[in-house]
Amino acid sequence: MALLEVQGLRTYFKTQEGTLKAVDGIDFMLEKGQAMGLAGESGCGKTTAALSIMKLLPANGYIAGGRINFMGQDMAKVTGDKLRAIRWRDISIIFQGAMNALNPVKRVGEQITEPIILHEKVDEAVAMKRAKELFEMVGINPNRIREYPHEFSGGMRQRVMIAMALACKPRLVIADEPTTALDVMIQAQIISLLKNLQKELDLAMIVISHDLSVLAETCEQLSIMYAGKIVERASSAEVFEDPQQPYTKGLIAAFPNIHGKKIMPASIAGNPPNLIRAPLGCRFAERCFMAKEVCLKEEPKLVEVKPGHWAACHFVPPLRG
Ligand SMILES: Nc1ncnc2c1ncn2[C@@H]1O[C@H](COP(=O)(O)OP(=O)(O)OP(=O)(O)O)[C@@H](O)[C@H]1O
Ligand SMILES: [Mg+2]
């Protein structure tokens, strides 16, 4: 059985202008110890998908349909104490921009021991010992455990966040833009830290980023989101070597190649559609150089186009007719 299986997940927000369909029917699966990347431009629903799995949506957000099967239970239906027990103990999340969200008036050690004491019902000394081990694991000198967040650099605060996410030995860690606010050198360090921890602890991981190189390095599987849908899914190598869906092709082409040259593709000009009044057909149609009439009328389904490689485009023929 898969560790996490998301089927037909729809997450909507109530807004003054109407219902905003931020995640509109996505499917994916994650095995124990597997890392999946979730990519796509700003506003396509990556964070909303992550928050749905954790059931941490803002007050105007709700799961409108689908199933989130985690270790045999449907997260969409779990509530109360049972939900609180799963959060942090089994699934944890490194929030987007979280390194700036540490409580400034609390020592970092205390912020790590809190969930350990709460979830594992151990005393402070045991929790502190574990917090020090976690510091060591993420490459911070354990002697700094009593310092305050402002005494750490941005990269180190991100390491503290990773330590916090690992505090209760979860099976699944969701990392939402874990390196976006960091400079390139520190980014590389955090990426290799995440990669090593994932292997060492046999963690399942969902890494969210608009930076494809981060995902290529950390994840064996990639899902590309566009306007609330997954438009392509395959191994990272496949997505990079043989992207099928025009949006994915645009994303890959927009990326600096190994020689550092950046090619801006004409196909990706324009903006994603308004998710309150999403278009009927393919959501990428109005930006797509390949679009024909059918694309404006009919929504393409995500179909297997090569073994293990799925894409949603009217012009990519399915593997099995
Ligand atoms: N609380 C909210 N109320 C209304 N709409 C929201 C709310 N939170 C997010 N949205 C909308 O839902 C859509 C998806 O947002 P989300 O934050 O999931 O995107 P994202 O892919 O994580 O983007 P980014 O790369 O910028 O982090 C966007 O259109 C956003 O404006
Ligand atoms: Mg986000």
pLDDT in tens, 92-127: 999 887 777 789 999 999 999 998 998 888 999 999
**Is residue 14 pLDDT above 90, yes or no?**
yes
CA nearest neighbour of 215 among 176, 260, 170, 168: 176
Q: Is 42 in the pocket of ligand 1 (CB under 6 A)?
A: yes
Average pLDDT in the chain? 90
Q: What is the pLDDT of residues 213-249, one digit of tens each?
A: 889 989 999 999 999 999 999 999 999 999 999 999 9
On the question of pLDDT at 260 being above 70, the answer is: no
321: confidence class by pLDDT, cuts 50, 70, 90:
low
Q: Which of 283, 296, 297, 302 has its CA nearest to residue 228?
A: 283
Q: Kindly report whether the global pTM for this prediction surpasses the value 0.85.
A: yes
Expressed in angstroms and rounded, the spacing between residue 184 Cα and the centre of ligand 2 is: 20
Q: What count of Cα atoms within 13 Å lies in the side-chain half-sphere of residue 34?
A: 16
Identify which of 12, 14, 19, 46 to mutate to test ligand 1's pocket (most ligand atoms within 8 A of the CB): 46
Could you read off the pLDDT of 268-294 as tens digits, one per residue?
778 889 999 989 999 999 999 889 999
CB-ligand 1 contact for 111 (6 Å cutoff): no
* Residue 259 in this model has a pLDDT that exceeds 80: no
pLDDT for 149 equals: 93
| Residue, of 2 and 254, whose pLDDT is higher | 2
From the CB of 59, is ligand 1 less than 6 Å away?
Answer: no
53-85: pLDDT as tens digits: 999 999 999 999 999 999 999 998 899 988 988
Question: Which pLDDT does position 267 carry in this prediction?
Answer: 47
For residue 51, the ligand closest to its alpha carbon is 1
How far apart are alpha carbons 261 and 264 in whole angstroms?
10
Q: What is the DSSP letter of 301?
A: P
pLDDT of residue 186: 84
Q: Please, which residues bridge with residue 38 across strands?
A: 208, 223
Nearest CA to ligand 1 atom 4: 13
Q: From the CA of 275, how far away is ligand 1's center (Å)?
A: 10
Q: Is the pLDDT of residue 208 over 50?
A: yes
Query: Which of 47, 56, 210, 251 has the most ligand 1 atoms within 8 A of CB, as the residue to mutate?
Result: 47
Predicted pLDDT at 225? 96
143-160 per-position pLDDT tens digit = 999 999 999 988 889 889
Cα(124) to centroid(ligand 1), Å: 38
Closest residue by Cα to atom 28, ligand 1, is 43
Are the C-beta atoms of 40 and 225 separated by less than 8 Å?
A: yes
Mean pLDDT of 162-183: 89
Kindly compute the dihedral angle of the four CA atoms of residues 162, 167, 173, 176, in this order, to the nearest 10 degrees.
-40
Q: Which residues surround ligand 2, an ion (CB under 5 A)?
A: 46-47, 96
Tell me what pLDDT residue 264 has.
47
The larger pLDDT score, comparing residue 102 to residue 304, is at 304
Give the residue whose CA is nearest to atom 22 of ligand 1.
47
pLDDT band at 37 (very low <50, low <70, confident <90, very high): very high
Q: Are strands 229-235 and 309-311 parallel, antiparallel or unpaired?
A: antiparallel
